[in-house]
Structure 1
Amino acid sequence: MNCKKYFISGVVGFMIFSCAPRQEINYMKDIENISLDNSIKNSRSTIQPGDQLVITVTAKDMDVVKPFNQSYSSSATVTQYSVPSSNNLPQQLPVSGPTYIVDTDANITFPQIGTISAKDENLETFRTKLTNLISAYVKNPVVDLKLINFKVSVLGEVNKPGQYIIPDGSTTLLGALGLAGDLTPFGIRTNVLIVRNIDGQITKERVDLTSAQFINSPYYYLKQNDMVYVQPNANREKSARVDPNTGLYISVASVIASLVIGVLALTKN
């Protein structure tokens, strides 16, 4: 009987140990109390060296703008991912056109105009700058500007870790996590790490997804080359250190224990 009690106690203890503790999984519970003014200010990224800009100029007379649609850089198709809605998978969106690579001094070389500085410019202000420069040659030009290599990395306890190229050069932290299939049940939602390169300086910020306060953080809208890391909880770390054959060992031990108990029962009879 003592063997039987020890066996039952061991099984119960194992089940208690293996159960993951309940953790908060709701996002932004206090959203209704948070002002969104600051988040709007943080939504626009400045153009960075290495960015690839697709710039297309149109006008009423398309023959007039032809000289402005020549590119000195590659115009190869670049695959982007749209942010999924609900449970839909992200869609691949091919983008191509006259492509300009921002050099190390934050300049591009544009047809007919020459060197144009994009330093401290975001897409909207740079579009306006280009429009004003081209207006000296063309009446009422329309400039279409896209950042086609805006990418972020999402790693750790998410369902689809990897690097994602974002259309329109803008996404939020929640949008990037959506592309990565959301956090797994083992991801710590109160301590998500964001690593960012600002003018050559590496910065780190930890975000609590369960609080809407992070909407007003500069890290709510992600920037070019941001890295998001979701830390695993203690149970995931413990399971990673456990021998993968542990389940087999427990099963074998259970069979042996059952046989021992059966033998003891027959012996007493």
Structure 2
Amino acid sequence: MTLKKYFVYSFLAIILMSCGTKQEINYMKDIESIALDNSIKNSRSTLQPGDQLIITVTAKDLDVVKPFNQTYSSSATVTQYSVPSSNNLQQQIPVSGPTYTVDTDFNIVFPQIGKVNVKDENIEGVRSKLEGLISEYVKNPVVDAKLINFRVSVVGEVARPGTYVVPDGTTTLLGALGLAGDLTPFGIRNNVLVLRTVDGKITQSRVDLTSAQFINSPYYYLKQNDVIYVQPNSNREKAARVDPNTGLYISVASVLASLVIGVLALVKN
């Protein structure tokens, strides 16, 4: 094969590869055609054992609600993240207040009231339930409750894999991916895996980010300790199988070939 033909064939090969099918990277292309009604009911995560709540009670007369604010924790600093955020930088947010942990039976122990069952309740449900119970003792109480240890993990083909503590205990699948810096160009967007623990059992679901249908899925709004795994595409897998020293080997081989050609040229002369 002449040198001219070699360059022609190489050029044609590059053109053909560049014309190959491109991976779909758009999200929810048909968003306008999908109703959002079904997603609203999943917008708040129900509480799980191990969840930590800061609950404070106020009223017009603050003295009368003091007995309901007895379990006071020392001030602590919690690393949380803004959702959404343009730069996704972590924030050190000081958190302090009466802290309660949901036990294995979904109970919290509240001053003056005792055990309060919060199974199947979200944050709003806890506020409403406690206001109802406290109103037997205090007129028009106001309860503020915050979930301070809501965590989700994002791994695989994302820019910043890791575990994220989300303020207010609510985020969506897209919000969590945003915290992780979005998918890399090598991430498969139509087959994202979400792992979730429900009543001690691990469940899983595959999500197609290129279709708006997934916003009606129970996996659109994330729950405590959800794990998101973004699978690499075939290009990434092929690259991973390539020896990282391949470039070095090629360079060494090129140098040796040049030396051999030089030696042969000297011998012929």
Q: TM-score, structure 1 length as denominator?
A: 0.87
What is the root-mean-square deviation of aligned Cα atoms in Å? 3.4
**Counterparts of 1:111 and 1:264, CA distance in 2:** 93
Q: Secondary structure at the match of 2:189?
A: strand
Q: Report the counterpart of residue 110 of structure 1 in structure 2.
A: 110
Gaps of at least 5 residues in structure 2 are none
**Counterparts of 2:15 and 2:255, CA distance in 1:** 17
Letter in 2 for 1:202: I
Farther off after superposition, 43-52 or 71-80? 71-80
Q: Decide whether aligned partners of structure 1 residues 74 and 87 sit closer, same or farther in structure 2, where only a CA change above 3 A counts.
A: closer
**Counterparts of 1:245 and 1:15, CA distance in 2:** 27
Q: Note if contact 1:45-1:122 (Cα within 8 Å) is conserved in structure 2.
A: yes
Letter in 2 for 1:185: P
> In the alignment, does 2:238 pair up with 1:238?
yes
Q: Report the counterpart of residue 178 of structure 1 in structure 2.
A: 178
Q: Secondary structure at the match of 2:112?
A: coil
Q: Decide whether aligned partners of structure 1 residues 228 and 164 sit closer, same or farther in structure 2, where only a CA change above 3 A counts.
A: same
Letter in 1 for 2:171: T
**Counterparts of 1:220 and 1:93, CA distance in 2:** 26
Farther off after superposition, 17-26 or 133-142? 17-26
**Counterparts of 1:88 and 1:197, CA distance in 2:** 26
> In the alignment, does 2:171 pair up with 1:134?
no
Q: Report the counterpart of residue 156 of structure 2 in structure 1.
A: 156
Q: Decide whether aligned partners of structure 1 residues 73 and 94 sit closer, same or farther in structure 2, where only a CA change above 3 A counts.
A: closer
**Counterparts of 1:172 and 1:191, CA distance in 2:** 17
Q: Report the counterpart of residue 28 of structure 1 in structure 2.
A: 28
Letter in 1 for 2:93: L
Deviation at 1:54, TM superposition (A): 0.5
Q: Secondary structure at the match of 1:91?
A: strand
- 1:1-269 to structure 2, matched below 5 A, reads 22-71=22-71, 76-255=76-255
Identity %: 78
Q: Secondary structure at the match of 1:143?
A: strand
Q: TM-score, structure 2 length as denominator?
A: 0.87
Q: Secondary structure at the match of 2:178?
A: helix
**Counterparts of 1:260 and 1:147, CA distance in 2:** 70
Q: Decide whether aligned partners of structure 1 residues 160 and 82 sit closer, same or farther in structure 2, where only a CA change above 3 A counts.
A: same
The C-alpha deviation readout for 1:124-177, integer Å capped at 9, x for no partner, is: 111100001111111111100001111111000111111111111110000000
Deviation at 1:256, TM superposition (A): 5.0
Aligned length: 269
Q: Decide whether aligned partners of structure 1 residues 206 and 21 sit closer, same or farther in structure 2, where only a CA change above 3 A counts.
A: same
**Counterparts of 2:156 and 2:177, CA distance in 1:** 11
**Counterparts of 1:7 and 1:251, CA distance in 2:** 21
